[in-house]
Amino acid sequence: SQCATRLCPTIKNRTPMTTNPFLTLDQQLLGDIYSSTEAMDNLTTLCDDFGSRFGGTPGEKQAADFLKAKLEEYGFTNVHLEPVEYVGWTRGAVTLEILSPVQMTMDCITLPHSPPADLEAVIYDLGDGGPLDFAEYGDQVAGKIAMVNSKTQPRGAKRWVHRMEKYGRSILAGAKGFIFVNHYPAYGPATGGIGDNAEGLIPGISVSYEDGAYLSRLIKRHGEVKVRLKSTDRCAPMTSWNVVGELPGTADNPEIVMVGCHYDGHDISQGAIDPASGAVAVLEAARVLAKYAGRRPHTLRVALWGVEEIGLIGSHAYVDQHEDELDNVRFYFNMDAAGGSRPKDIVINEWPELETLVREWQSAMANPFRVGKSISAHSDHFPFLLAGVPTGGMEPVQRDLSGRGYGHTRYDTLDKAELRNLQDAAALAASFLLRVASEEHWPVERRSPGDVAQLFDKPEYNEERSIMNEIATFVAQQRAE
């Protein structure tokens, strides 16, 4: 059966928790984590030995093999690599040449899945590139190169507006190209995917805050800036790998508790915080759970995803390939970049019954994490959420709408990581997963497709979902012609 908005019958028989029945186990799990450097050791290997781990690089497969070996070392069973076929992308040379009113060449980078290009066009500055900017000025963009900044809460918006939406709105407006300006000074250009497991329709590049400001000044002073954009990027079929392993459950019909994080970063940096800090926190939680918790009633399955940064490709492939198991997935817990400096909270993706249960656990655990609810479409929980699986993640309850900081730039490097932050993420994950895998009276089941659709009818989610569907439909039509 599938229920989403009602309590399952077993929850009525559950006695609220007033003390911590896992106290001894918590002490063992946390004591080991906080007296070990294993998480930082693993992060150092991922970053300094394997580089970005971007899809198609040698370091990607080396990292997958390393993660597989670690899960085996920690005592997980059925550890294996699941291949994922996809449309990969390789960076080529790129030049952005200002033709008028001045003549100069500007530093830039192409964005993943950008097609090869050789075009001349005028730049149209759309500022923040939010819904309001396109509503007011989008009719001026056709035949030009749309320039937007990377602010995630644009003028007039009350939600996070993703780069993919800005790129897609530029396509709908008839733009010939796309310039993504980092809104943070001194961090250089900011990267990020613009495809949907396929080559983008128009070329996309990024420039630094300083160069974007210069282009804006030229436009204001001279009325028009004409540029030539040339790039030699290449898209081609590639193979990535999801790394999967498990601790089997003991119940007669054990459900599956999943925890995951992607391990691929962007090709311009080590991706130390995003995502690798989360990946090593998953590993560390897995290590101590295997060591101390033994076999719980329900199976714990770890998944370390490939090629998330260019479209959640690894996790989408997993959900497609494991459809026959999804009814048995009790919960998927996402830990993207969880070992960074941001608050370690638990966000449940619109499951009120689970919020109540997790708050009860929080009180017994004596851990000051907060419990929140929200939905984001831009990490590896989302394919599971679309399939109706109960999901959540380790992320701040109060999301920082200012942006990514040094994330998605060449400065997301190992020196930004701190052992204590990695330990905090691993400790919360271990204690939380212990409870999810042990809870007898689980209050929710998989949502039906109708319930999933109804979820996105809420005003706070409908606007983004609607425009992204419109963009996807238009792009599909263009590719079919």
pLDDT tens-digit series, residues 26-56: 999 999 999 999 999 999 999 999 999 999 9
Smallest Cα–Cα separation from 413: which of 51, 37, 38, 36?
Answer: 51
How many other C-beta atoms lie within 10 A of the C-beta of residue 380?
A: 29
Asked if the model's pLDDT at residue 8 lies above 60, the reply is no
Alpha helices in 4-93, H assignment, sequence order: 23-33, 38-44, 50, 58-73
Range of 6-20, 164-178, 396-410 with top mean pLDDT: 164-178
pLDDT at 1: 34
Smallest Cα–Cα separation from 242: which of 322, 301, 304?
Answer: 304
Answer whether 279's CB lies under 8 Å from 304's CB. yes
Asked if the model's pLDDT at residue 312 lies above 90, the reply is yes
Smallest Cα–Cα separation from 479: which of 123, 55, 87, 95?
Answer: 87
pLDDT at 373: 94
How many other C-beta atoms lie within 10 A of the C-beta of residue 44?
A: 16
pLDDT tens-digit series, residues 228-277: 999 999 999 999 999 999 999 998 988 999 999 999 999 999 999 999 99
pLDDT tens-digit series, residues 465-475: 999 999 999 99
pLDDT at 398: 84
Asked if the model's pLDDT at residue 17 lies above 70, the reply is no
Per-chain mean pLDDT for the chain? 95
Largest CA distance in the chain: 75
Smallest Cα–Cα separation from 120: which of 94, 97, 142?
Answer: 97
Which DSSP string corresponds to 165-213?
HHHHHHHHTT-SEEEEE-SSTTS--------SSS--SS-EEEE-HHHHH
- Average pLDDT rounded to a whole number, residues 380-403: 93
Task: Compute the distance between CA of residue 183 and CA of residue 34 in angstroms, rounded to an integer.
Answer: 37
pLDDT at 399: 75
Tokens 């204590």 — which residue? 420
pLDDT at 7: 39
Answer whether 276's CB lies under 8 Å from 46's CB. yes
Task: Compute the distance between CA of residue 204 and CA of residue 201 in angstroms, rounded to an integer.
Answer: 9
Asked if the model's pLDDT at residue 16 lies above 50, the reply is yes
3-state helix, strand, coil in the chain (%, to 5): 40, 20, 40
Asked if the model's pLDDT at residue 400 lies above 80, the reply is no
Answer whether 297's CB lies under 8 Å from 247's CB. no
- Average pLDDT rounded to a whole number, residues 374-390: 97
Asked if the model's pLDDT at residue 91 lies above 90, the reply is yes
Q: Sheet holding 391-394: strands in order across?
A: 77-90, 234-247, 299-305, 256-262, 329-334, 391-394, 346-348, 371-373
pLDDT tens-digit series, residues 404-425: 999 999 999 999 999 999 999 9
Answer whether 354's CB lies under 8 Å from 443's CB. yes
Task: Compute the distance between CA of residue 57 and CA of residue 270 in angstroms, rounded to an integer.
Answer: 12
H or E segment at 436?
A: helix 419-438
Which DSSP string corresponds to 72-120?
HHTT-EEEEEEEEEEEEEE---EEEEEEESS-EEE--EEPTTPPPEEEE
State the angle between helix axes of 278-288 and 58-73 in degrees (0 to 180), rounded to the nearest 10: 20
Which DSSP string corresponds to 248-317?
---SSS--EEEEEEE----TTS--IIIIIIHHHHHHHHHHHIIIII-S-SSEEEEEEESS-TTTSHHHHH
Tokens 């009525």 — which residue? 12
pLDDT tens-digit series, residues 284-305: 999 999 999 989 999 999 999 9
For the chain, the distance separating the N- and C-terminal CA atoms, rounded to the nearest angstrom, is 42
Tokens 């994922």 — which residue? 84
* Strand bridging mode 177-181 / 145-149: parallel
Tokens 């770890």 — which residue? 302
Domains in the chain, CATH or no CATH each: 9-89+237-455 (3.40.630.10), 92-232 (3.50.30.30)
Alpha-carbon dihedral sign for residues 418, 421, 423, 426:
negative
State the angle between helix axes of 419-438 and 278-288 in degrees (0 to 180), rounded to the nearest 10: 50
pLDDT band for position 459 (cuts 50, 70, 90): confident
Smallest Cα–Cα separation from 95: which of 14, 226, 205, 251?
Answer: 205
Q: How many CA atoms lie within 13 A of 424 on its CB side?
A: 20
